[in-house]
Amino acid sequence: MEIVVMPGHSRPEYFKVWTELIQKANGASDLFYLFCLDSGYDPKYMDLIYDFPFECAYIEMPECSLGLGKQSRNVLNGLVAAAQNTDNLVYYVEEDVFIGVDFFRWHRDVHNREKDLFCSIGTRSNNYKYSSDGFPSHYFLSHEVDYQALGVCFKKEVILDLIYPHFNDNYLTNPTQYCLRHFPNSIIGKIWTEQDGLIRRILELNKMPVAYPCLPFAFHSGFYGYNRQPEIMQKSYEEKLKLIRDICFNPVKMKLVSEPMGESYWKDSIPCELDLTFDKLKRIEVEKIS
């Protein structure tokens, strides 16, 4: 059984659209879904979880006095719980990562081909310069420290053997101090120490490849949130849901709403062809080779 981990806290309107896209994905009904609700979460999540059509469970994180608390504890707890209960793959897909119809199929194929991956990521790499010629295969391997928490798939062994040992009270109490002590030679800045920074350091230390698609099977739709236009968070659920439906699937509107925050925000949120099938990508691959 493969497990999808989805953390949530304050954006149930994103979760609503996310569940609609999940139901269109090939093989989605064969997966188990673990919803990780952080302390103080919006109760609207529960209504949506009760209506979710596939097999699922949820975890509610209690309040905690540890220094980091919030997001990192919730995400890492979900990843570890999933790895301990799957026989193979764990998908980590946040609510603002909108997946395409063959998102899961692509990940499975890559992990079947590549036995020593750190992970596969179904979105565009933010650090790789894509050429117009594409790639000789439907994915490429990045050997740089190239991790982003945007549509990720791990084999359970990577989580249990490499990530789980760092999910402890010492890290959660003082993540910066912990990262500086355990990864003293890291080139990553000391201010980036939440779970994605921790995982990036683990990748850096273990020097394992990360797989990306030559054409993305998902995109990051988060044009607002914790550190992106927080004033939007004051709007009603219905208003925010309308904004998402109106903006997130339109490249021009996404660029307009994201560009004022800086180029990196726009590059991080380019809508892709969600109807792209694995078979179509393979045909493109054959045509490029021939």
C-alpha–C-alpha distance, residues 77 and 154, integer Å: 15
Whether the pLDDT of residue 39 is over 80: the answer is yes
- Which pLDDT does position 131 carry in this prediction? 55
C-alpha–C-alpha distance, residues 258 and 151, integer Å: 20
> Tens of pLDDT along 206-241?
999 999 998 899 999 988 887 778 888 899 999 999
Topology of the domain comprising 3-167+208-221+271-289: Spore Coat Polysaccharide Biosynthesis Protein SpsA; Chain A (3.90.550)
- Which pLDDT does position 209 carry in this prediction? 94
Question: What is the average pLDDT score of the chain?
Answer: 89
> Tens of pLDDT along 71-89?
789 999 999 999 999 999 9
> Tens of pLDDT along 91-113?
999 999 999 999 999 999 999 99
C-alpha–C-alpha distance, residues 272 and 156, integer Å: 28
C-alpha–C-alpha distance, residues 146 and 210, integer Å: 7
Instruction: State phi, psi for 152 to the nearest 5 degrees.
Output: -100, 150
- Which pLDDT does position 126 carry in this prediction? 78
Do 239 and 167 form a contact (C-beta atoms < 8 A)?
Answer: no
The length of the chain, given as a count of residues: 290
Q: What is the pTM of this model?
A: 0.93
Percent of the chain with pLDDT over 70: 91
